[in-house]
Amino acid sequence: MTDANTVAQHYSKGGLLDRIKAGLAAMGASEPLDIEILAAADEFHIGGRRATVPFMKQLAMNSDSRVLDLGSGLGGPARFAAKTTGAHVTGIDLTAEFVAAGQALTEMSRLSDLVDLVEGSVLKLPFADNSFDAAYMIHVGMNIADKAGIANEAARVLRPGGVFAIYDVMQVGDDDLIFPVPWASNPSANALDKPSVYRDALAEAGFILEAEQDRTGFARDFFAALTANQTAAGGPPPLGLHLVMGAETKTMVANMVQNIADGRIAPIEMFARLPD
């Protein structure tokens, strides 16, 4: 089991926005912020922006779309979706520091008309029934044991025919995980589940699973390139996820790579839809 306080504590390091602002300054970035530069620090999942681009395409958003980002973190995927499609994106996240930094970055990117980030739990969404056309969740379910609760809430707030896309790290082997990993320093914040648990939760909530994709090959290539780049550069760039993950970043990433290589975990996408 995981609880909200343990999860929020895991992600809260303090001083995040100042670190990102310093990184942006070192990159010579000025307002309005270029979301492509920001992507190095605000896309907190395997593959970063490179994973978000093909994932979002499958949601077929446009300027009429009302979209919900479950566990929006710093809001990188939400700003990308809004900026590139004109959709209105609402993000909800448990970690107050991420929401506050995300709101500031949205203003600095001049995207406040299209992106709202609010603090709260995906298990108790403060939104009316049928209020979104599409919902997505990127690397969040690993912190939430109640997969049925996530799927039920997504089904409630989506309109009939609405799509729910998931890109999560899932358990694919039976061996114990090596900790720390980016979503949990120890087992207390970890709620990894097998793809079958997600499928069952989606089906029980009334979704029809339309597609599923294992992104392990992509993840291996991504981490190999990341390691090579950082070795060549002699360390991380001024703007990167180390600003978000903190002192344990190197170990967390190395353990994630090892857990994937050993077949314990895999990044997996699922695209599900409610009947019309």
Q: Which stretches of the chain bind ligand SAM, using CB under 6 A? A: 4, 7, 11, 43-45, 71-73, 76-77, 92-95, 98, 121-123, 138-140, 143-144, 183
Is the Cβ of residue 161 or residue 256 nearer to ligand SAM in the bound state? 256
CA distance 114 to 78: 9
| Minimum CB distance to ligand SAM smaller for 15 or for 160 | 15
Integer angstrom CA distances of residue 218 from 105, 193, 225, 240: 28, 21, 11, 19
Spatial separation of the C-alpha atoms in residues 264 and 276, rounded to whole Å: 37
Residue closer to ligand SAM (CB basis): 132 or 183 = 183
Number of residues in the chain: 276
Confirm if 240 and 40 have CB atoms less than 8 A apart.
Answer: yes
The one-letter amino acid code at 143 reads N
* For ligand SAM, the closer CB: 30 or 171: 171
Sheet with 66-70: list strands edge to edge.
115-119, 88-93, 66-70, 132-138, 158-171, 265-273, 208-214
Q: Give the list of residues 6+ apart from residue 187 with CB closer than 8 angstroms, or none.
A: 177, 179
The residues, ordered by sequence, that sit 6+ positions from 199 with a Cβ below 8 Å of its Cβ are 209, 212, 270
Q: Which is nearer to ligand SAM, 208 or 222 (CB)?
A: 222
- The CB-of-271 to ligand SAM minimum distance in angstroms stands at 16
CB 148 → ligand SAM: shortest distance, Å? Answer: 13
Shortest distance (Å) from residue 73 CB to ligand SAM = 3
Closer residue to ligand SAM, CB minimum distance, 139 or 215: 139
Kindly state the smallest distance separating residue 54's Cβ from ligand SAM, in Å: 14
Residue closest to ligand SAM, measured at CB: 73
In the bound complex, what is the minimum distance in angstroms from residue 249's beta carbon to ligand SAM? 13
Kindly state the smallest distance separating residue 137's Cβ from ligand SAM, in Å: 7
